[in-house]
């Protein structure tokens, strides 16, 4: 038997939640999961999961995973699922940055800072609200003050490290706890021709020897999760240069105040918040003139 697709539609918020659930359940086992905008005005989005062998699929389990959405099944005997996923993966624009796959190179404009990242790679294709929020904040912060050296902590696909390197043309240390993600990131860095600026390292927190070579950092970007961000606040602050900038994301709106409090204790103060759906991106600075709380 051939390939099979299970799919359902809902609002952007519901579709994003379903996408994340299916990605955990099936994506980690190699079954691609995609989210597609069907009608922006009507807020209709479609989530699909693709399986290579229809005869080996636990259909009852898949239907259960779509609970509350009423999924439909479509047999795809002659369809290349990767081509389908790539067709669904639209370019993402955040300020001057355009994150796209190889299939959308023709959409790049002359003044774009284009970042090419393929579907199915390590986390961070620009489609998640946290990644897009970080890209927008990176442009805002670097326009105001160009860093001498930067850190992308939890780099994933290296999309944020690539963005910093393309915009500022400065050394960037990019680290991740997952060696597979680091290998993918290294490929992306070279494909985007910023390998002279970006150094990759596998590290838990700030444990890699490379930190001794690069710190202190004028700009630290960390798009991980609120819990780890709060735990890392003291050591992150120690690696930050005087008057350095910090961009944090992977934070739900309801977690914002807790994260701000953890960093305020380290002398890092809130300057700006960007919100995309239920996610926020924070800009903090170490200075004597904090803005807001």
176 is in an annotated binding site: yes
| Edge-to-edge order in the sheet of strand 269-276 | 198-202, 172-176, 150-153, 217-223, 240-252, 279-285, 269-276
Any known ligand binding at 223?
Answer: yes
Bridge partners of 76, per DSSP, are 3
DSSP string, the chain: --EEEEEEEE-HHHHHHHHHHHHHHTGGGT--EEEEEEETTTTEEEEEEEES-GGG--HHHHHHHTTTT--EEEEETT--HHHHHHHH---EEETTEEEE-GGGGGG--TT-EEEE--TTSSS-SS-SHHHHHHHHHHHHHHHH---SSEEEES-TTSHHHHHHHHHH---EEEEES-HHHHHHHHHHHHHTT-TTTEEEEE-STT-STHHHHHPSEEEEEEES-HHHHHHHHHHHHHTEEEEEEEEEEEEEGGGHHHHHHHHHTTT-EEEEEEEETTEEEEEEE-SS-----
Retrieve residue 270's tokens. Answer: 């809130």
Residue 214 has, within 13 A of its CA and on its CB side, a CA count of: 30
Q: Is 61 flagged in the annotation as binding?
A: no
Q: Would you list which residues are annotated within the binding site?
A: 131, 154, 176, 223
Q: Would you list which residues are annotated within the binding site for S-adenosyl-L-methionine?
A: 131, 154, 176, 223
């Amino acid at each position: 038997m051939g390939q099979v697709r299970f799919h359902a539609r809902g609002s952007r918020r519901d579709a994003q939640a379903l996408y994340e659930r299916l990605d955990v359940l099936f994506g980690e086992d190699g079954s691609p999961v995609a989210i597609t905008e069907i009608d922006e005005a009507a807020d209709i989005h479609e989530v699909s999961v693709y399986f290579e062998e229809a005869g080996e699929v636990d259909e009852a389990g898949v239907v259960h995973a779509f609970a509350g959405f009423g999924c439909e099944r479509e047999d795809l005997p002659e369809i290349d699922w990767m081509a389908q996923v790539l067709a669904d993966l639209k370019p993402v624009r955040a300020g001057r940055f355009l994150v796209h796959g190889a299939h959308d190179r023709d959409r790049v404009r002359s003044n774009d800072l284009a970042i090419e990242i393929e579907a199915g790679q390590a986390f961070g294709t620009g489609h998640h609200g946290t990644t897009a929020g970080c890209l927008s904040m990176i442009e805002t912060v670097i326009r105001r003050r160009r860093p001498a050296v930067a850190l992308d902590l939890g780099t994933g696909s290296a999309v944020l490290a690539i963005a910093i390197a393309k915009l500022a043309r400065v050394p960037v240390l990019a680290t991740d706890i997952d060696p597979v993600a680091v290998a993918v990131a290294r490929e992306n860095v070279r494909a985007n021709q910023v390998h002279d600026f970006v150094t990759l390292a596998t590290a838990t927190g700030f444990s890699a020897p490379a930190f001794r070579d690069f710190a202190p950092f004028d700009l630290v970007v960390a798009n991980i999760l609120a819990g780890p961000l709060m735990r890392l606040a003291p050591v992150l602050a120690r690696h930050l240069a005087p008057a350095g900038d910090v961009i944090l994301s992977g934070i739900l709106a309801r977690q914002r105040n807790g994260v701000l409090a953890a960093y305020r204790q380290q002398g890092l103060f809130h300057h700006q918040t960007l919100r995309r759906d239920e996610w926020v991106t924070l800009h903090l600075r170490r200075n004597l003139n904090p803005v807001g709380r």
